[in-house]
Amino acid sequence: MEYGFTTAAYVVAAVLFILSLGGLSGQESAKRAVWYGIAGMGLAVAATLVGPGSGLWLLSVLLIAAGGAIGWVVAQRVQMTEMPQLVAAMHSLVGLAAVFIGYNAHIELVRVLAMDEAARASLEGFAAVLAHKNGVEQVILRVEVFLGVFIGAVTFTGSVIAFGKLAGKVDSKATKLPGGHALNASAAALSLILLFMYVNGAGIWTLILMTLLAFFIGYHLIMGIGGADMPVVVSMLNSYSGWAAAAIGFSLSNDLLIVVGALVGSSGAILSYIMCKAMNRSFVSVILGGFGGTTGPAMEIAGEQIAIDAEGVASALNDADSVIIVPGYGMAVAQAQQAVSELTRKLRAAGKEVRFAIHPVAGRLPGHMNVLLAEAKVPYDIVLEMDEINEDFPNTDVVIVIGSNDIVNPAAQEDPNSPIAGMPVLEVWKAKQVFVSKRGQGTGYSGIENPLFYKENTRMFYGDAKKSVSELLPMIK
Q: How far is CA 178 from the centre of its chain?
A: 28
Least confident span in 30-34, 112-116, 352-356, 392-396: 112-116
pLDDT tens column, 420-471: 777 889 999 999 999 999 886 665 555 678 888 999 999 999 988 899 999 9
The pLDDT of residue 81 is 67
Considering only residues 208 and 370, tell me which one the structure prediction assigns the higher pLDDT. 208
The pLDDT confidence band at residue 228, using thresholds 50, 70 and 90, is low
For 65, other C-beta atoms within 10 Å of its C-beta total 10
Cα–Cα dist 448/405, whole Å = 8
Q: How far apart are CA 462 and CA 431, in angstroms?
A: 20
Please tell me the chain's helix, strand, coil percentages from 3-state DSSP, rounded to the nearest 5.
Answer: 65, 5, 25
Please give the share of the chain, as a percent, with pLDDT higher than 90. 32
* 95 contacts 159 by C-beta, under 8 angstroms: yes
| Cβ atoms of residues 360 and 274 within 8 Å | yes
Q: Is residue 127 pLDDT above 80, yes or no?
A: no
User: 437 by DSSP, 3-state: which?
Assistant: strand
DSSP element (H, E) containing 64: helix 57-77
406 is catalytic: yes
What pLDDT, in 10s, does the model give residues 13-24? 999 999 998 887
* Mean pLDDT score, 243-271: 86
- The model's pLDDT over 117-126, given as tens digits with 9 standing for 90+, comes to 777 766 666 6
Q: Which amino acid is at 267?
A: S
Whole-number pLDDT of residue 1: 45
User: Of 380-389, 393-402, 451-460, which has the strongest mean pLDDT?
Assistant: 393-402
SS3 399: strand
Which of the residue ranges 17-26, 168-177, 348-357 would you say has the lowest mean pLDDT? 168-177
**292 has a pLDDT exceeding 50:** no
Residue 477, exposed/middle/buried by CB under 10 A (0-12, 13-18, 19+)?
Answer: exposed
* Percent of the chain clearing pLDDT 70 (strictly above): 88
In terms of Cα–Cα distance, which of 183, 13, 214 is closest to 102?
Answer: 214
C-alpha 48, offset from chain centre: 28
Q: Is the pLDDT of residue 187 over 80?
A: yes
**Contacts for 400 with CB less than 8 Å, ≥ 6 apart:** 313, 323, 324, 325, 326, 435, 437, 461
Please check the confidence at residue 150 and state whether its pLDDT lies above 90. yes
Q: Output phi, psi for 459, to 5 deg.
A: -130, 140
Tell me how far CA of residue 18 lies from CA of 9, 239, 279, 311, in angstroms: 14, 16, 28, 51
Active-site pick, 319, 406, 415, 464? 406
Phi-psi region of 275 (alpha: psi -120 to 50; beta: other; left: phi over 0): alpha
- pLDDT score for 400: 95
- Average of per-residue pLDDT values in the chain: 84
3-class state of residue 351 by DSSP: coil
pTM: 0.78
Cα distances from 340 to residues 129, 380, 473, in angstroms, run 58, 14, 9
Residue 437 vs residue 232, higher pLDDT: 437
